[in-house]
Amino acid sequence: MSLDTAPARDLLHDTMVLPPVAQPPERAAMEARDVSAWFGSHKVLERVSLVIPAGQVTALIGPSGCGKSTFLRILNRMHELVPSAALAGQVLLEGEDIYDPGRRVTHARRHVGMVFQKPNPFPAMSIQDNVTAGLALTGVRVSARERADLVEECLTRAGLWSEVKDRLRAPGGGLSGGQQQRLCIARSLAVRPRVLLMDEPCSALDPTSTRRVEETIAALRGEVTIVIVTHNMQQAARVSDRCAFFLAEAGTPGGIVEHGPTPAMFGTPRDQRTSDYVNGRFG
C-alpha cells in the first residue's frame, strides 16, 4: 500500500515524529568578552568570556585564588577602584559596554548591584533608611509615600518584611547577621538593578540564615538576573540555573574551564577537572 493513501497516513499518525519547534535564543543580561585583568604586573584573569542569561541565577565556582571575585567586581566596575588594577576586553550590559569612555561609573553601579560576603548595612541608620540609602547616591528622588511603598516592596522581595515591619525605625545594625544580609539585598533592589551580584553572601551565616537567603534568591529568580560566587557546591547546585567553573593552575591566570546548565555541570561535565572539583577531589 502506498504511503500516500489515507489509510496508511492514519496508521502512521500515532508514530509520526513532528519537527521540533524552534526556541528563541536566551536573552543575555550581561556578557563578558575576552576579559583579562591585572593587579599591577600580576595577571589574574586570562581572556574570560561568559554569557549571563537574563532572569537566571549563574554561579561562579572554583578554588580560592582563581579570579571569581575579581571577575564579579569587574561586572560593576569595582575592579577599577584598586589603584594598580587594569582591564582588557568588554563587559556588555544588555548589549552596551559598561566600560565605554562615554559611560559614567554610576550607570554601571545603579544597574548592576552588589551584595558582599560580609553584611554591611549602615549600623546607625534605621532599617527603612538603609533600604533607601542608594536612592540619594544614584540621584533618584521619590515622595514620602513612594518611599514607604518602596521600603515595603523591597523588604518583602528580600524576605524580611514580616520580621521587621513593626520596627522600621530601629537601627539596621541591631538585626541578626542573616537579617542584615537580607537588608543589604533589599537595599540593592531599591535602585531597580537589572543584575544583582553576590560575593559569597552566605559564608558568614548560620544554616538557618543561609536557607533564608537562598529562599530569597529563589524568589528573585526571573525578576532579577543574579550572579553568585560560592565555594559551597551544594549551594551552587540548589540555587543556580547555570555554573561557570574557574580555575588557575600552576601560577597561570584564572580562566573558565567550562560553563553550562547546572545539572550538566554537576552530572555530566565535559572536563575531568570540573568533575574532580564538583565531587570534592580538590579545592
Q: All domains of the chain, ordered by start, with CATH?
A: 27-278 (3.40.50.300)
Within 10 angstroms of residue 232's Cβ, the number of other Cβ atoms is: 15
Q: How far is CA 199 from the centre of its chain?
A: 9
Side chain identity, residue 96 = E
pLDDT attached to residue 250? 85
d(CA 227, CA 74): 12
pLDDT of residue 19: 43
Place 283 in a pLDDT band, splitting at 50, 70 and 90: confident
Question: pLDDT, tens digit, for every residue of 229-277?
Answer: 999 999 999 999 999 999 998 889 999 999 999 999 999 999 999 999 9
List the beta strands (DSSP E) in the chain: 28-39, 42-53, 57-61, 85-93, 96-97, 112-115, 195-199, 225-229, 242-247, 255-261
Q: Residue 251 is placed in which grid cell?
A: 601560577
CA distances, 19 to each of 4, 16, 70, 112, 211 (Å):
20, 10, 44, 40, 42
Per-residue pLDDT band for 26 (boundaries 50, 70, 90) equals low
Residue 134 is predicted with a pLDDT of 84
Helix count (H) and strand count (E) of the chain? 12, 10
Position 277, amino acid = Y
pLDDT bucket at 136, cuts 50 / 70 / 90: confident
